Structure 1
Amino acid sequence: MSVVLELESLKAACDNNNDPGDQGNEVIPGNGSCTYHIGSGTDEVSNLLSTTPQATENNGMQHEVDGVDAYTDSQTETSKWRRELLSLKTELNEVVVWNLKLWMVILLVVFTIALVIGISLIVCAVIDDDGDENYDKSSFVVKRFFRGNFTLDNSSFTSDREMLQVHYASELTEVYSSSPALERYFSNVTINHLQDTTAQFTLQFMMPSDHEELVRYTLSLKMVRNVLFQHLNDQDTGDPFYIIPTSLRMEGEYT
């Protein structure tokens, strides 16, 4: 009697090798498995299959969150610029003095600066009055003479002495008439004598009554001589009326 009870309890236990009905219910074949393990295996497989959709769903959610973050940053930056513009607009509309707002004061300052610059340019260009340029030549009543001589180059000397006198008188007149410092005082030049290759000349200048400073500086012997000497140095050596620069001699005197 006790033997039968032992067999029945063994039969209730897992024995896949002896029970054909249990074999038909097996999901995963294998020795030593039972219906309890079959159920557990199904749950495990279900859990494993469900992991892939979860991962996909999680990736989609993460992507959506990144997009929301970028959009939020853009909105924040736009709001910041709007706040700055509103702040600037508020500052410009503040009343600074009397009923003038800040933007009005800025425009007024810019306009004033431009107006001052424009007036200054007009004054400099149109009303530039150099007192030294205003003089009355009729007040130059005092004469000052300079006498001197120079030697002509032999190759340029000709027998037509009258023609030479006219030419050199014209040349010296051009030299002093074009001098910025001396032209207002220059009166005339005369070629007094032409002997051999040497020409003698006289320069006449007119000065105002108050001429002490002129004699000392502008109409000094050194100044008048240097103007002519510079011209002689600038000559072309091939000039048919060439004057030897080092031959120039000059002295000054009143009349």
Structure 2
Amino acid sequence: MNDGKEVEMQIMPGTQVYNGQPISNRGKKRCYSKSKLVCWKLKLWHTILLIILLFLLAIVISLVLYSVVYEDEDEKFDKQSYITPHNYNGTLRVINCQGSTESPQHQFESTCISQHLRDMLLKLYRSSPLLGRYFVDAYSLPNGTNDTIAYYRLQFQVPEENTLLLKYTLNEEVVVNIFRQHLYDQEFEENRVLVIDPASLSIHGTLL
């Protein structure tokens, strides 16, 4: 019983007081430990993020330097050394040719076939990653007796040392397959000006 008298709390020296209540050293240490743990976790995450960022930065720098320094050996060639002609003659069957202004009713007009076929061949072989560097020109000759059959000629120039090149790269099979694949890819296009039967392609090499 305090008999209405206030009881004074004895506070030890060095004890902190909050809202009139003393804070024990144990509670103080607990709060300090929690704060220390949180700070340690934050520092750990900061360190991990920093390592990841540095790793990504190193990858980006490596890719940039590689793209600047690297030189593709296949892109280093001397066009002037390609002095030996190697040509191919071939035939094909035209299914349809639209675009003739002189005789619209005649779908297989020779001028229509020659014009569009040559444009197709020039664009195709000039842009070929494999044969573009060797390609020179293309020609299309109509067949006087059959307007659905056309002749074409492909001109290439190769280095003097060309045995392996003609055997594995610039051979008849590769040249005609590039053309045939292009025709197959066109089958999904609408409003084609020139329609050619891919199975009708034939080709043979000649030095003249």
User: Do both share a fold (TM > 0.5)?
Assistant: yes
Contact in 1 for aligned 2:92/2:202 (Cα 8 Å): yes
In structure 2, which of residues 151, 159, 171 is the aligned counterpart of residue 208 of structure 1? 159
> When you count helix as a share of all residues, which structure comes out higher?
1
Task: Determine if contact 1:147/1:201 at 8 Å carries over to the other structure.
Answer: yes
**Structure with more strand by fraction:** 2
For 1:146-165, list aligned pairs within 5 A. 146-153=88-95, 158=107, 160-165=109-114
Gapped regions of structure 1 (runs ≥ 5): 1-52, 55-60, 62-66, 85-108
The CA distance in 2 between the partners of 1:247 and 1:118, in whole Å, is 50
- What is the deviation of 1:248? 1.1
AA of the residue aligned to 1:178: S
* Structure 2 counterpart SS, 1:246: helix
Shift of 1:210: 2.0
Which residue identity lines up with residue 244 of structure 1 in the other structure?
D
Displacement of 1:173 = 0.9
2:26 maps to a residue whose letter is: D
Q: Which residue of 2 aligns with 1:132?
A: 74
Choose from 100, 110, 116 the match for 1:167.
Answer: 116
Structure 1 residues 119 and 170, CA gap change in structure 2 (3 angstroms): same
CA distance in 1, matches of 2:190, 2:35: 81
Select which of 120, 131, 146 maps to 1:182: 131
* 1:164/1:223 CA distance change after superposition, 3 Å: same
What is the TM-score of this pair, normalised by structure 1? 0.55
Correspondence 1:49-198 to 2 at 5 A: 53=1, 71-78=24-31, 80=33, 120-153=62-95, 158=107, 160-195=109-144, 196=146, 197-198=148-149
Uncovered stretches (5+) of structure 2, i.e. residues with no partner:
3-8, 10-20, 38-50, 99-105
**Larger RCO, structure (CA 8 Å, separation 6 or more):** 2
**2:178 equivalent among 210, 218, 227:** 227
Contact 2:135 2:156 in 1 (8 A): yes
Q: Percent identity?
A: 28
Say whether residues 1:249 and 2:202 are aligned partners: yes
Mapped partners of 1:209, 1:168: distance in 2: 30
Query: Matches of 2:81 and 2:204 in 1, distance apart?
Result: 25
Q: Which has the larger radius of gyration?
A: 1
Q: What is the TM-score with the length of structure 2 in the denominator?
A: 0.66
Shift of 1:175: 1.0
- Of 172-181 and 232-241, deviating more is 232-241
Shift of the alpha carbon at 1:178?
A: 1.3
Q: Does the residue aligned with 1:153 lie in a helix, a strand or coil?
A: strand
The amino acid of 1:142's aligned partner reads: T
The AA in structure 2 aligned to 1:181 is: L
Q: What do the CA deviations read for 1:91-147 (whole angstroms, capped 9, x no partner)?
A: xxxxxxxxxxxxxxxxxx99x979965652332232231121111111101111111
Q: Residue type of the partner of 1:228?
A: F
Q: Given that residues 165 and 194 in structure 1 are in contact (C-alpha distance below 8 angstroms), is that contact kept between their aligned partners in structure 2?
A: no
Q: SS at the partner of 1:202?
A: strand
* Structure 1 residues 232 and 174: CA distance shift in structure 2, 3 A: same
